[in-house]
Amino acid sequence: MVTGCDVSFEAAGTHVDVNAATSEVIARALASVTNVPDSIAAAIVARRDTSPFIDVGELRSIRGLESATTLDSLFSVEPGRVSLATAPVQVLLAIPGFTAETADNVVAAQNAGTPIEDLTTALIGVSNTAASELVARFPDAARLTTPDPDAWVMRSRAARGVPLSEITIEMRLARVANGVAVIRLRARP
């Protein structure tokens, strides 16, 4: 008898990919939730360039992040551009050119069920100051974002028995032609 089972989906790009992000993007993400020096972002990049992070929890090995509690809400090790359809405000603030006003505008569109169709749509309804910030960094922001997630990650977890035995299966799903392909399949106890 299965005693616990759950399935979840998350868009790649809901969090910043710590293994691909620039030092600036990492610093901006950290600044959205905590007051840490830019040197921590540089330390993250130096560490990941030696050996990519396998899990976000490994960020706590960086001096200054040992007790950080918000890393899972900002970062991922899942490849993908930041999804304008699913990323929260704190993640959007990591994008060069995004102000709090622009990020709030994008999330309001998500919540209204009318996600941003392309990055230029994010300029609608924001002040001239916020629009100018995004326009000034538009090439960077366009390169780092996507209106639709690059992929989805499905996680299925099941538990059974005494002593409890648990398994998690994770699949990365991406659109291809007229369907979906499983790009990665991973199982762990």
Q: State residue 184's pLDDT score.
A: 87
Q: What are the tens digits of pLDDT across the range 16-64?
A: 999 999 999 999 999 987 777 888 999 999 999 999 999 999 999 999 8
| Local confidence band at 90 (pLDDT 50, 70, 90 cut-offs) | very high
The residues spanned by each domain of the chain are: 2-10+151-188, 11-146
Q: Concatenate the DSSP letters of all residues of 80-124 into one string.
A: --EETTT--HHHHTTSTT--HHHHHHHHHHHHTT---SSGGGGGT
What CA–CA distance (Å, rounded) separates 6 from 16?
Answer: 25
How high is the mean pLDDT of the chain?
91
| Local confidence band at 106 (pLDDT 50, 70, 90 cut-offs) | very high
Over range 104-120, report the average pLDDT: 92
| Local confidence band at 160 (pLDDT 50, 70, 90 cut-offs) | confident
What CA–CA distance (Å, rounded) separates 40 from 63?
Answer: 8
Reported pTM? 0.88
For the chain, the C-alpha Rg in angstroms (whole number) is: 18
- Judged against a pLDDT cut of 90, whether residue 166 lies above it is answered with no
Over range 161-179, report the average pLDDT: 88
Q: Do residues 119 and 92 touch, judged by C-beta distance below 8 A? A: no
For the chain, the distance separating the N- and C-terminal CA atoms, rounded to the nearest angstrom, is 18
Give phi and psi for 165, each to the nearest 5: -115, 130
Q: State residue 3's pLDDT score.
A: 64
Environment class of residue 31 by beta-carbon count within 10 Å: exposed (0-12), middle (13-18) or buried (19+)? middle
What CA–CA distance (Å, rounded) separates 32 from 10?
Answer: 21
- Judged against a pLDDT cut of 70, whether residue 152 lies above it is answered with yes
- 138: Cβ contacts below 8 Å, ≥ 6 apart: 97, 119
